[in-house]
Structure 1
Amino acid sequence: MKINKAKPRLLFSNNTLEVNRTAFMERFGVAQTDDFGKHLGFPMSLSKRKEKNFSFIVEKVKSELAGWKSQMLSLEGRAALIESVTATISTHIMQCTYLPKTITSEVDKLYRDLLWGSTADKKKLHLVGWDVVTQPKDYGGLGIKKMELRNKALLGGFVAQASEEKAPWAKL
C-alpha cells in the first residue's frame, strides 16, 4: 500500500516561520492548506467561533424544511415532519460534540415556526409554549425533543458506552 500524495495536506499555525513551512513541505512532499474541508459532514478545521463551526447544522435543517409547504400540512403532519427532520440531523456529530446554545436555539426556532405556520413574511401566534410542546405525549405535549436536551442525551449515551470496560476502544 502506498500513500496517495495528492490527498495529504499540512495546516500550519500562524506562528510557523515560512522557512519551517517550506522545509516541512519539501521533506514530506505535501502541500499546504488553510482548510481541511469536511469529513462525514463535520468540519475538520474548527474556528475559535463555535457558532461558525456548526452553522451547517442550521443550514441543513433549513434545507430539509424548505421543500415542504407547511400551510398544507395539519398540525400533526408538521409535528411528524419535525420529528423526521430531527432524526436525520447529523446524529454522529451530536454524539461527540456539545453544540453551542445559539445553534440549538436557532434550530428550535425553525421548528417552532414550522409547527405554528410562521414564515419570514407572516408571523403566526404560537398557541402553546415550547416547553409544553416538547413534553412527552403522555404528559400533554407533542413529544418533540428540544435540540439541546437531545444533544445532551446523545453525549450521555456516548459516555455510557465509553465507560463499558468490555469495549476494546474504551480500554484504549
Structure 2
Amino acid sequence: MFHKHQRNHQELCQVLSIHSIVNKITYLSIPLSFCRLNIADYLPLLDSLNMKLNGWKANLLSFAGRLQYLRFTIQNTIAYWIQGSILPKFVYTVFKKFSSRFLFFCDVHSSKKLHMVSWDKICLPKTKGGLGLPSLYALQYAFNCSTISRMYNGTSPLSIWLLSKYNSPWKPPLFSAFKLWKSICNTALFMPNIVFS
C-alpha cells in the first residue's frame, strides 16, 4: 500500500519484489488507507453494533441494564474504532439512532416511536440532567488527549514521528496534514495550560 503522492510505485515494487498493490487493508478489523474511506468501509462496525443491540441477552435487560450495556459494551466497540480511524458523521448519526431506540424501547428498528429526550441530553453528566454516558465526541477528545500525552511522555515510534514531523499540536496544522492530526490540534486548543510530568 503506497501513499497517494508516491510516484515511483513500479520501481519500488521491482526492488522489493512486491507483486500486489492495494488501496486499503484491514488490520485488526479496522480498515486502513492513505485515501479517504467510504461509508461502506464502516459497515462492519454498524453491523456489529446492530447484532449486539439486537441480541437476545440485550433484549432481556431492564432500563438500568441497557444503560450499562451501552456504557461498557457498545461504547467500548466504538472506542476501539476511534483509536484506528476518524469516524464520519454518518456513523455518529446511526450510532445515536440505534442507541436511543435500544435504551428507550429495547428495539433498534422502532422508527415510529417518539423519543422524549434527545441523545445529546442523555450524554450530559448526571449533575446536568443527563445519564452520564460519554458521547462519541467525548471519546474522540479523550483519545486525542491520550495521544498528546504519549507524544511527550512516551518513546514509541509514533510519538517520535509525530514530534519530528509536526513539532507541536499547539501550532496551526498544515493544510496537507492528515485528518487525525487536525483533530488532535483542535483538541489541544482546549488544553493550553497542560503540564506533563
Instruction: Give the TM-score normalised by the residue count of structure 1.
Output: 0.70
1:3 matched residue in structure 2: none
Separation in 1, partners of 2:110, 2:74: 24
2:174 counterpart of 1:168: no
Q: Among 33, 49, 53, which residue is 1:61 paired with?
A: 49
Larger RCO (CA under 8 A, 6+ residues apart): 1
* SS of match in other structure, 1:141: coil
* SS of match in other structure, 1:37: strand
Q: CA deviation at 1:151?
A: 1.6
Structure 1 residues 100 and 38 mapped into 2: Cα distance closer, same or farther (>3 Å)?
Answer: same
1:142 matched residue in structure 2: 131
AA aligned opposite 1:131: D
Q: Among 66, 74, 82, which residue is 1:78 paired with?
A: 66
AA aligned opposite 2:72: S
Separation in 1, partners of 2:110, 2:91: 23
Structure 1 residues 31 and 90 mapped into 2: Cα distance closer, same or farther (>3 Å)?
Answer: farther
Query: Structure 2 matches for 1:123-142, cutoff 5 A?
Result: 123-142=112-131
Provide the identity percentage. Answer: 20
Runs of 5+ consecutive residues of structure 1 not aligned to the other structure: 1-9
1:157 matched residue in structure 2: 146
Instruction: Give the TM-score normalised by the residue count of structure 2.
Output: 0.62
Structure 1 residues 126 and 12 mapped into 2: Cα distance closer, same or farther (>3 Å)?
Answer: closer
Q: CA deviation at 1:79?
A: 0.8
Structure number with larger C-alpha Rg: 1
Query: Structure 2 matches for 1:90-105, cutoff 5 A?
Result: 91-95=79-83, 97-105=85-93
Q: Which sits farther off after the overlay, 134-143 or 106-115? A: 134-143
Structure 1 residues 57 and 47 mapped into 2: Cα distance closer, same or farther (>3 Å)?
Answer: farther
How many aligned residue pairs are there?
Answer: 158
Query: Structure 2 matches for 1:105-116, cutoff 5 A?
Result: 105-116=93-104
2:193 matched residue in structure 1: none
Runs of 5+ consecutive residues of structure 2 not aligned to the other structure: 162-197
Separation in 2, partners of 1:87, 1:101: 16
AA aligned opposite 1:102: F
AA aligned opposite 1:110: F
